[in-house]
Amino acid sequence: MKKRVCLLTGASGLLGSTFCRMAASEYSIAAVYNTHIPPVGSQMMEFRDPIEPGASLSENESRVYAIKADLTEAGSEKRVVELTLAKFGAIDLVVSAAGRYETCSIVDGDEFTTTLESMLSLHLLAPMRLARAVISSFWRDSDIENRHFRRHWLSVSSTAAMTVYPHKGQGPYAAAKAALNMATAHMVTEMAPLGVRTNLIAPNSFPSIVSTESVVQSILRMDQGALSGQFQRIDRPGPGS
């Protein structure tokens, strides 16, 4: 059976790289990164045994397709979608996991405004532009095919979008993630006529409070299901954590 094609953002981060390691055998992954190449097997990186350099390693068997892009730059999302479609011919799942955690208190004046703009650009504007690019390039006018292949958009938010953790300076980050929650909620109804499911997970800090693996497992369970409009808070350690 042909693998589902996953367009993953934030591939070089802890969640993204863990997703690649856990899911590369099941998905064809277009792994989008900005600065650092994802630490997994790809067309840009392979693993070698220092004792037997010619030996075959399992880490190289299911390589991701790494794409360098700064999604905060308008227009970069179109190139990412074009490269993914040129490589795999489809996009069945988008996991919007690109993130950066910046803190600043509102009493810090201009610094707060700058931080808020940065967080909104990355956590709200970038994924919404990517969604538009995927819709216009592949999902639009394909509702029957989309339903058949259970095509799926999944946003990665945070418990900070729903809970105030005092004295941590999370205002800009939390506001951006809360905005992402509402934008994703509207996507549920607006993407439904296209036959595309829309869901969101909101994990607490990982790996300090919940394991990164349990967050990946939640993503995989959501994609393997058939539901849409699910907002799952992940606030407790998973089994074995």
Residue 62, pLDDT score = 75
Give the pLDDT confidence of 205-235 residue by residue, as tens digits.
999 999 999 999 999 999 999 999 999 999 9
Q: What are phi and psi of 33, to 5 degrees?
A: -135, 160
Angle of CA points 183, 97, 106, to nearest 5°: 65
Query: How many Cβ atoms sit within 10 Å of the Cβ of residue 52?
Result: 9
Residue 46, pLDDT score = 66
Percent of the chain beyond pLDDT 90?
Answer: 81
Q: Which residues in 152-179 are b (16+ Cβ under 10 Å) and which e?
A: bbbbbbbbbbeeeeeeebbbbbbbbbbb
Give the pLDDT confidence of 155-194 residue by residue, as tens digits.
999 999 999 999 899 999 999 999 999 999 999 999 999 9
Domain tally, the chain:
1
Q: Helix, strand, or coil here: 4?
A: strand
Q: Helix, strand, or coil here: 193?
A: helix
Name the residue range of residue 141's domain: 4-234
Check whether 67 has a pLDDT greater than 80.
Answer: yes
Query: CB pairs under 8 A, 24+ apart, for 55-62?
Result: 61/25, 62/24, 62/25
Check whether 42 has a pLDDT greater than 90.
Answer: no
Domain annotation covers residue 163: yes
Domain annotation covers residue 21: yes
**CA atoms of 140 and 105, how far apart (whole Å):** 42
Domain annotation covers residue 199: yes
Residue 241, pLDDT score = 41
Predicted TM-score (pTM) of the model is 0.91
Maximal CA-CA distance, the chain: 58
**CA atoms of 130 and 98, how far apart (whole Å):** 11
Q: H or E segment at 9?
A: strand 4-9
Mean pLDDT across 81-101: 97
Q: What is the CATH number of the domain that holds 25?
A: 3.40.50.720
Domain annotation covers residue 240: no
Domain annotation covers residue 149: yes
Percent of the chain beyond pLDDT 70?
Answer: 90
Mean pLDDT across 56-80: 88
Give the least confident one: 7-11, 81-85, 237-241.
237-241
Amino acid identity, residue 216?
V
Check whether 61 has a pLDDT greater than 80.
Answer: no
Mean pLDDT across 13-25: 95
Check whether 53 has a pLDDT greater than 70.
Answer: no
Give the pLDDT confidence of 121-135 residue by residue, as tens digits.
999 999 999 999 999
Name the average pLDDT for the chain.
92
Whether 36 contacts 12, CB under 8 Å: yes
Domain annotation covers residue 241: no
Domain annotation covers residue 239: no
Domain annotation covers residue 174: yes
